[in-house]
Structure 1
Amino acid sequence: MKRIAARWLPAALWAALIFFLSSRQTLPEPPGPLGWDKLQHALGYAAGGFLLARAAGVRGRGMWIAIALGLLYGASDEVHQVFVPGRNSDVHDWLADATGVLAGVFIQRFFTLRRGRGGNGAAHRTAEASAT
């Protein structure tokens, strides 16, 4: 039970942080021509996708569970913002969230599968080299 809690705690803390930030009437934005708002959404949800995939796993259904949870949380966050004075809901924000979730899940999947395939990277390469 402790292992499950330890795996899911970072994702739960991420969700709490997103909820807190979404409850704020305004968030600081640095000046610039870039779509900083969408970049914030994508980066924030990439972190969430990474943590959700870490918790749910990246093999089999785990990856799809992480994606579904991230997409649903992003949608619920946009609905939540409708009720916050000074904030609004935007499908483009959700698309940025979704892009971030997918990126985060696939980054976690890449690192997990790479680590799982090679085990200890240096030792594995040394064993392969001596076998040839």
Structure 2
Amino acid sequence: MAGLFWFALVCWAATMLWLSSLTPQELPDAAFLAWDKINHFLAYAVGGWLAAGALRLSRPSMPVANQIIGAIIIIAIFGVIDEGLQTITPGRTGGSVGDWGADVLGAAAGALASTVARRHPMGR
């Protein structure tokens, strides 16, 4: 099961990097894209959820707090890479501290939600 979470995390990261490499003309013209910080928060919450799940299943003896912190660190570092990629993409600015902040907050929310959901599953 841990392998499935790591695979999903890699797929998520590849999708994020692909989206970051698109020029403004190539990005979908959708109204929801105007909510930049919310999009960053939600997208990176998914990454935080997946990273926390992967760490939890790969390292079950690791303290829960370390799993959460580890997931946040993994996704925060990825966010820096993602913002850096945008700086070399034509028509994109990237390097936004505000975007990265939304990424980190999303990662934290996703990692915490993953842990809470695991400890308190619905229907049990």
- TM-score of the superposed pair, with normalisation by structure 1: 0.77
Contact 2:40 2:99 in 1 (8 A): yes
Contact 2:37 2:99 in 1 (8 A): yes
Distance in 1 (CA, whole Å) between partners of 2:13 and 2:64 is 23
In structure 2, relative to structure 1, the CA distance for the partners of 1:5 and 1:71 (3 Å cut) is: same
Output the aligned Cα RMSD: 2.2
Q: Check if 1:101 corresponds to 2:99.
A: no
Query: Any unmatched runs of 5+ in structure 2?
Result: 57-62
Selected match of 2:3 from 2, 5, 11 = 5
Alignment of structure 1 residues 61-80 onto 2, 5 Å: 61-80=66-85
In structure 2, relative to structure 1, the CA distance for the partners of 1:64 and 1:24 (3 Å cut) is: same
Alignment of structure 1 residues 35-74 onto 2, 5 Å: 36-57=35-56, 59-74=64-79
Query: Any unmatched runs of 5+ in structure 1?
Result: 122-132
Contact 2:41 2:103 in 1 (8 A): yes
Distance in 1 (CA, whole Å) between partners of 2:66 and 2:116 is 16
Task: Indicate the structure whose relative CO is greater, using CA pairs within 8 Å and at least 6 residues apart.
Answer: 2
Per-residue CA distance 1:31-62 (angstroms, 9 max, x = gap) = 48x96111111111011111111111282422
Letter in 2 for 1:16: A
Letter in 2 for 1:68: I
Contact 2:23 2:90 in 1 (8 A): yes
Selected match of 2:19 from 16, 21, 25 = 21
